[in-house]
Structure 1
Amino acid sequence: MDAVTLVSFLFFTGLVGLLTWWITRKDDHGTSQGYFLAGRTLTFPLIAGSLLLTNLSTEQMVGLNGDAFSFGLCVMVWEVVCVVALVFMAWFFLPRFLKSGVATVPEYLEIRFDHQTQVITNIIFLLAYVGILLPIILYTGAEGMIGILDVTGMVGGLAESMNVDPHTLALWLVVWIVGIIGSIYALFGGLRTVAVSDTINAIGLFVGGFMITYFALTVLGGPTGFSGGYDILIEDQKERFNSVGGADSNVPFGTIFSGIFLLNLFYWTTNQQIIQRTFGASSLAEGQKGVLLTGALKLLGPLYLVLPGMIAFTMYNKGLIEFPGGEPVPNQAYGLLVQRVLPGPLTGFFAAALIGAILSSFNSALNSSCTLFSLGLYKDVLQKDATEHQIVRSGKVFGWIVAVVAMFIAPLLANQTSIFGYLQAMNGIYFIPIFAVVLVGMVTRRVPSVAAKIALVVGFIVLVCGNFVPPFTTIVASMHNFQFLGVVFAWLVVLMLIIGELRPRAEEFVQEDVGAVDMTPWGLAKPVGLLLIAIVFTIYISFADFSVLATSS
């Protein structure tokens, strides 16, 4: 890494930190309302910026581009389908959450069902965040930074003196550096600090993401430049420019209508890490505008989350990039592409934006973990008479414990071939039962709390067994994992409805408006949502070649 790259990286990283401190220096960080919900003051630009960057982290930049390197355009389904889920969030889920004035999803389930349902959901969320989400964010972030800044080369001498593999040493070092910095952001600043830094970084990463695509096609085109690179890419990957995944891809077409759609619905409507910033909206209208703006921006996602991975595939075939071990490793493709095509000053700028994205996802998940623990377990179970100061302090202490555990787990993920596929498979273990319970709770009035508790516990156990316990893993292997998630979801919904018929609540549930925010909806929410859905179908159909389904069969 040259001096210009390092200086520009440090400059832009420091600039984001300074701006974030300046904007949030007078915020309320001492009360639970101010620390966990930004005092319910977030407007739609901050909501959209924070939503986008919390999602747009290295598990997306590195993982999804890695999948595009392996499977082609069909993996864009994760970006395209999520827009439909965001529309549903704006129309259906967000009004119900804001009406109850909740700070967490489990808190909503306590209102709809009972306290035990809230505690079970909190525990499932926390186990998943500590064991799955936070380590993956750190691992993919480290892989991206190692490739872009050539950290392996920087620590080569130290690794040799320690008699360890340079890449392994670089991985541990970057994981711990990012983890510590991210913890400081999340644990000392609260949700508004996270949202402000997210919005600043989102601008840089959004611009940087498009720069990667532009420079990569320009380098690929050689003397013919950008347009020539595009022509070479199309010619080299005609069959891979297909939005329809065949049986040999990691997103077969049929799974769109089962596990993939369900995972997107949960992620954008019920995942605490993502939707917590919508709970901090100053009004329902601001929340809806923020969510739908995020959906509009996600339509551009394939241009910087899929196309670079495909370009890396062509550049590898033409000898324009080389993998450290000789054999291609999909998770390393994006970092190597960035290092190859960007000039030094821009490499430092993009590395700063990328580390901002890593910090965004990490500190958002960490902030959500603290919120779930402090408001859901510490305040309601462990210390019911806790003061505001004690509640906030408990979240900070718990956050440091969680962060350290995640930093130890993250480097152990290095053997995963498709980190994005692994993330989605692991997410399903807790996504599916929680989403089934939230959805049934919102659309029915008589389903009792016992149904929710059975669905949460049984669903979680079934999905864990299906992924890790023989002979259940053999049964799951006979179908695609995303189809398995769809079957389990349908089974849990039916189970809850049956219990609701056999043992209904004594009285119908009636949701009360607690007056937390102005509940006047945005007048354009429905037409804008319909327009976004129409664009989604247009994009998908424009690149669809269904003949691959006949070939696969």
Structure 2
Amino acid sequence: MNTTAFVTFIVVTFLVALISWIKTRKHKITTSAGLFLANRTLSFTAVGSALFFTNISAAEFVGSSESVYINNMTVMAWGVSSVFAMLVVSEFVIPVYLKGAMSTTPDFLESRYDPQTKKLVSFLFLIGYLVNLLPIVLYSGAVALNGLFHFSDSWNISYGSSIWILVWCIGLVGSLYSILGGLKAIVISDLVLGACMFTGALLLAYFGLRHVGNGDLQHGIHTILTSKTEHFNSIGKTGDAIPFSTIFTGMILMNLFYWGTEQVIVQQALASSDLKASQKGIALACAGKLLGPLLFMLPGIIAVHMYSNMQNTTEVFSRVVSDVSPPVLSGFIAAVIFGAAITSFSPGLNSASTLFILNIYKPAKEKKGIALTEANMLKSSKIFEMFASLLAMFIAPLFIFSNDSFYTFMQKINAAFSIPIFTIMFVGFVTKKVPPIAAKIGLGFCFLAYIFTQMVFDTGIHFLHVLAILFVVTTAIMLIIGRLYPMETAYVAQNKQVVDLKPWKNRYWVNGLLLLIMILLFLLFSPAYLASNP
């Protein structure tokens, strides 16, 4: 372990925490709205950075670099194509949530269907967070930090043991952030870490390309542009990690779910001061997603030219940072990785707590005639977050036994929870009379069918195409039930007038520019340009 790198890591991490404390020390959390939604006061820069950094965990660095190294840049599609989904959500979905003053995305299901559907989906969300989202954030952060500092060698323990220790370190710090600071503290950290991330990415690119060029930056650039260029390809074929056709089937559905119904993401937009701030914030987050190839893919390209055969490919990113960066930069990037893990884990905890307290715990108490005070809810939310974090810390190290590419494995697990929820949300948005029973049947059918196609029957079809098929079938089932047993009264959205719903007037040309850049990135990283044979 390099002492300079470790000291830099400690100093930068401390400074980020100090800035967050200074900015939030006068922000006293006395209400559930303050804990969960920062009292709906976030500016567009706060919303944009929170959306982007909540989405970015160490899994992005670890998984993207690994996928580029062992395959190519087809994994880029997840982040870059999400821009389209984000803009659709900004224009059509967020206004509905803000109009109804919703605190959680299942709140829409209660107003559209019934309280039982809301509770059922809240349970499904919580299961996904506790056994998938939170553990994956902890595991990927631990893998990255161990690769950067080689704790297993320094402590003379096994790789698995070092992952266990680091998982618990990240989990405990992340829990404190969420429990003590709430959403406001998380957002402040996002702003600071966002600036650090872009700085670190540029410096890593500089030193990495110099290393490939034997000290000459221009020679390094020439080398990666003229040899092994197949790794630049983002237009996937059948055998690639992400076939290009899947962008138009299951991937677009998962992205729409993630940015439009995933509580841990949408909660950042729901905390905005008004619709204009929310839409501008989403556009800002889109700009960040378009920088994904620079932030997350380039280290994998550099690794292709440095290592011919790595055994543990999950450490591709960490190995590049350790081998090409001066110690100060290694420590700085380690702090960013640690921060990324914290500011993905903490919002996940905060959102899980929001769902549990507002959608499950509070209604259960009120059904028994018990009126909860704000103090009761704050205390209960902290207890639940401690339980959730402990469970995640026990589960996270088990991901070491996964055989798939880490990024692919993560997305397959996400799909089991995302598409069933998205389907009933989608039908709820586009219809007015499909009844609650259709949502329950659709949810159960889609979830079980996906599990069977992935764990019981080998369909031979890419899991993203399977998702699209199940979406269509489930939607058809719900529409048939809606035709046979329609609701007596059509659903009408209510305007609770909590925030200003005036939209951002410049959104159309900004959104058009973002979509154009998205298309140009796919052209740039294709056989027509960078991935062509020299």
Per the shorter chain, which TM-score range?
Answer: over 0.9
1:546 to partner: Cα distance: 8.2
Secondary structure of the corresponding residue to residue 488 of structure 2: coil
Match of 1:304 among 295, 300, 319: 295
Where does structure 1 lack aligned partners over 5 or more consecutive residues?
A: 160-165, 318-325, 548-553
Match of 1:194? 186
- The one-letter code matched in structure 2 to 1:398 is F
Match of 2:493? 511
Deviation track 1:526-553 (CA, whole Å, cap 9, x = no partner) reads 2211221122112212333389xxxxxx
Match of 2:236 among 245, 259, 262: 245
Match of 1:320? none
Match of 1:313? 304
1:327 to partner: Cα distance: 4.2
- The one-letter code matched in structure 2 to 1:499 is I
8 Å Cα contact 1:137-1:361 kept in structure 2: yes
Percent identity at matched positions?
A: 36
Deviation track 1:89-131 (CA, whole Å, cap 9, x = no partner) reads 2111111111111111111211111100100000000001111
Instruction: Tell me the number of residue pairs that the alignment of Structure 1 and Structure 2 aligns.
Output: 525
Secondary structure of the corresponding residue to residue 266 of structure 2: helix
Moved more, 413-422 or 378-387: 378-387
1:383 to partner: Cα distance: 4.8
Match of 1:23? 23
Rounded Cα–Cα distance in structure 2 between residues aligned with 1:230 and 1:263: 35
Would you say 1:462 and 2:445 are equivalent positions? no
Match of 1:375 among 353, 358, 362: 358
Match of 2:90? 90
1:189 to partner: Cα distance: 1.3
Rounded Cα–Cα distance in structure 1 between residues aligned with 2:453 and 2:170: 33
Match of 2:439? 452
Secondary structure of the corresponding residue to residue 386 of structure 1: coil
- The one-letter code matched in structure 2 to 1:294 is A
Would you say 1:344 and 2:327 are equivalent positions? yes
- The one-letter code matched in structure 1 to 2:54 is T
8 Å Cα contact 2:68-2:231 kept in structure 1: no
Would you say 1:216 and 2:208 are equivalent positions? yes
Match of 2:515 among 533, 543, 550: 533
Moved more, 273-282 or 383-392: 383-392
Secondary structure of the corresponding residue to residue 375 of structure 1: helix
Rounded Cα–Cα distance in structure 2 between residues aligned with 1:327 and 1:351: 21
Rounded Cα–Cα distance in structure 1 between residues aligned with 2:241 and 2:478: 31
Secondary structure of the corresponding residue to residue 517 of structure 1: coil
Would you say 1:232 and 2:223 are equivalent positions? yes
Match of 1:334? 317
Rounded Cα–Cα distance in structure 2 between residues aligned with 1:301 and 1:188: 31
Rounded Cα–Cα distance in structure 1 between residues aligned with 2:520 and 2:339: 33
Rounded Cα–Cα distance in structure 1 between residues aligned with 2:420 and 2:514: 28
Secondary structure of the corresponding residue to residue 323 of structure 2: helix
Rounded Cα–Cα distance in structure 2 between residues aligned with 1:465 and 1:126: 21
Rounded Cα–Cα distance in structure 2 between residues aligned with 1:546 and 1:262: 28
Match of 1:162? none
Match of 2:471 among 489, 492, 498: 489
8 Å Cα contact 1:28-1:35 kept in structure 2: no
Secondary structure of the corresponding residue to residue 234 of structure 1: helix
8 Å Cα contact 2:232-2:301 kept in structure 1: no
Runs of 4+, deviation exceeding 6 Å: none
When the two structures are superposed, what TM-score results if normalisation uses the length of structure 1? 0.93
Map 1:427-446 → 2, pairs under 5 A: 427-446=414-433
Would you say 1:262 and 2:244 are equivalent positions? no
1:230 to partner: Cα distance: 1.5
1:86 to partner: Cα distance: 1.1
Rounded Cα–Cα distance in structure 2 between residues aligned with 1:130 and 1:466: 23
Rounded Cα–Cα distance in structure 1 between residues aligned with 2:187 and 2:338: 15
Match of 2:532? none
Rounded Cα–Cα distance in structure 1 between residues aligned with 2:270 and 2:153: 44
8 Å Cα contact 1:83-1:298 kept in structure 2: yes
8 Å Cα contact 2:49-2:284 kept in structure 1: no
Map 1:264-303 → 2, pairs under 5 A: 264-303=255-294
Secondary structure of the corresponding residue to residue 487 of structure 2: coil
Secondary structure of the corresponding residue to residue 412 of structure 1: helix
Deviation track 1:278-299 (CA, whole Å, cap 9, x = no partner) reads 0100000000000011101211
Match of 1:524? 506
- The one-letter code matched in structure 2 to 1:542 is L
Rounded Cα–Cα distance in structure 1 between residues aligned with 2:206 and 2:388: 39
8 Å Cα contact 1:50-1:202 kept in structure 2: no
Secondary structure of the corresponding residue to residue 230 of structure 1: helix
Would you say 1:397 and 2:383 are equivalent positions? yes
Match of 1:44? 44
Rounded Cα–Cα distance in structure 2 between residues aligned with 1:350 and 1:173: 20
Moved more, 235-244 or 180-189: 235-244
Where does structure 2 lack aligned partners over 5 or more consecutive residues?
A: 530-534
Change (3 A) 1:86 1:255: same
- The one-letter code matched in structure 1 to 2:65 is N
1:2 to partner: Cα distance: 2.3
